[in-house]
Amino acid sequence: MTPSTAPLHSRIRAYFAPVDRATSTPTLFDPAQLGGFSLDTPPAPWLDLGCIARFVRVSSTKYQPLLAGAPAIAVAQARTEVDASVSFEFDAWGKLQSALASGSQQMNLLATGPGAAPNGSGGSAAAPVSIVESGNTASALNVGPDAAAQFAPGTLIAVDTDYTGQTGYIGAGVSAAYVRSAAAIGTDIDYVRRVTLNVAVVASVNEGVLQLASPLPAGTPAAGMRISRLVGFCDREGASFFQEWSALFILEGAQGDRVLFHYPRLQPMQSSAERAEPLISSAGTAPLERVRLAAAFRALPVRDPNDSETVVCFRSYLPAPLRTI
Amino acid sequence: MQNAKDTFYLMLQQRLAALNPQRVIVLRGQLRPGVLVGENEAPTAHTPVNCFRLTWTTLSIDRTSAMPLAAMQCEIRYATDGSRPMAAMDRGRLLSAMDSELAAALARSPQSTPKLNCSATDSGSAPTPMATSIFWSQPVFAPLTATGERLERTATVDMFAFQEAGEA
């Protein structure tokens, strides 16, 4: 056996999975069953959000001494408040990374139709494209040869249902926003596609089928879903929605050990923010800045059925093989 | 420490050979992948080109851990004179290719590999895996130096290894 040593690592990987907001059901990660998974192929429904930097966990749990005697002396302790948060910076500005770091619902900037009035989060969208209800998968969408002419390799698309007066949580696969009343949305049939996280990049177009660069997060599109082209993403300071995700952060030790931090329920605790860091050139100067997405989340509780404890985070350690413990 | 140095060399040799199998050198009459460790070869004034030459420089040992942690710096030098068919006008491209190969080999995940016990390889035995792994930093590339037509660069890498019980 080899003596155990402190984990040594160079990076932390982040994985997120949806929380079913309608039932408040998080995605639980079982480190006893899956803790050793290959970092490049996380188990479904966990989504790989890549490496993160400046990962900081903060426990704000308060401990109160129970005093007795004269002079008073601490004879016991109690936890009077449990609170934890986590903050980090994403390396990439992908859809999910920027949505998670936006602090609220993130809008897809849908390609506008002719004569659309200017609007901060995008004007009236161009007419959506219907999906032919055959031959579709999460990675291939059949739109027919005529409609396919609107798409080219590199086109960004949002795939979701029309807005027809739904209220409550909306968005295929992941609850992307909450609609309090249909009146707030009005007649925008594209609103669900405007906020959905079910987005992809067209990799190729062949005989009316859009081949996507990566599968749609919500899987094979359901009947009635349509496609809107988009040009980018937008978030807004002052928006009201709280996203909620299950999260898993993995610190891969150089000796084959692994530390896993699992937060079953995370909600953002800051609005969209960035941090600029100088990009040091080989000459030692800093002519450019790299802008990373900064995110901070508060951990919400779940009940551990093993002993009915209410907890907000699980930290697991998988030792390297043949180490003393 | 020697096992760690040998393991790093074998790791780099395998990764570079996988990236570019055509990068080979003839050394002591044998065709080998284009990586060598200077201290393991006969002293010579000749500087081989189009290959990677490893030199171990600094060493420090941290004894505050449960096992001593050795930190060693490896200088990796490489040079090219360009190719004869191109009248050496491709020397910049050839050096860039070596930059890319070295960066890719060292950045490939995982940036660690099980340490090998190479003490019995002189008698023909294969290296055997040990209990710990070596790991290393990203390379730091020094400015290019030009001597006549020859372009040369040195990259430095910090390599770390736990010193296991009974290990030389």
pLDDT tens-place string over residues A180-207 = 999 999 889 999 999 999 999 999 999 9
Prediction ipTM score = 0.77
Contact between B134 and B63 under an 8 Å Cβ cutoff? The reply is no
Residue numbers in B near A5 (CB within 8 A): 65-67, 69, 162
- Interval A82-101: pLDDT, tens: 999 999 999 899 999 999 99
The predicted pLDDT at position A263 comes to 98
- Interval B72-107: pLDDT, tens: 999 999 999 999 998 889 999 999 999 999 999 999
Alpha helices in chain A (DSSP H): 31-34, 95-100, 145-148, 182-185, 191-195
The predicted pLDDT at position A300 comes to 97
Instruction: Tell me the pTM.
Output: 0.88
Nearest C-alpha in A relative to B165: A2
The predicted pLDDT at position B103 comes to 97
Residue numbers in A near B143 (CB within 8 A): 282
The mean pLDDT of chain A is 94
User: Distance of CA A312 to CAs A82, A159, A302, Å?
Assistant: 8, 33, 6
Nearest C-alpha in B relative to A324: B66
Tell me the one-letter amino acid at A5.
T
Which site among B108, B112, B137 would you substitute to test the A interface, given the most A Cβ atoms closer than 10 Å to its Cβ?
A: B112
CA distance A12 to chain B (A): 13
Identity of the residue in A5, A254, A322 whose CB atom sits nearest the CB atom of B65: A5
Low-confidence ranges of chain B (pLDDT < 50): none
| pLDDT surpassing 90 at residue A135 | no
- Interval A48-85: pLDDT, tens: 999 999 999 999 999 999 999 999 999 999 999 999 99
Contact between B69 and B160 under an 8 Å Cβ cutoff? The reply is yes
Mean pLDDT of the A28-44 span: 96
User: Distance of CA A124 to CAs A99, A110, A171, Å?
Assistant: 21, 8, 19
Inter-chain residue contact B131 with A322, CB threshold 8 Å: yes
The class (CATH top level) of B2-162 is alpha beta
User: Chain A window 232-291: which residues touch B at a Cβ cutoff of 8 Å?
Assistant: 252, 254-256, 282
- Interval A279-313: pLDDT, tens: 877 667 777 888 999 999 999 999 999 999 999 99
Identity of the residue in A2, A6, A39 whose CB atom sits nearest the CB atom of B132: A2
The predicted pLDDT at position A4 comes to 87
The predicted pLDDT at position A143 comes to 96
Residue numbers in A near B110 (CB within 8 A): 252, 254
Residue numbers in A near B137 (CB within 8 A): 10
Judged by DSSP in three states, A131 sits in coil
Inter-chain residue contact B160 with A8, CB threshold 8 Å: yes
Distance CA A325, CA A308 (A): 27
Phi and psi torsions of B63, nearest 5°: -100, 15
The predicted pLDDT at position A282 comes to 65
Q: How many Cα atoms occupy the beta-carbon half-sphere of B165 within 13 Å?
A: 5
Confidence of residue A267 (pLDDT cuts 50, 70, 90): very high
The predicted pLDDT at position A10 comes to 83
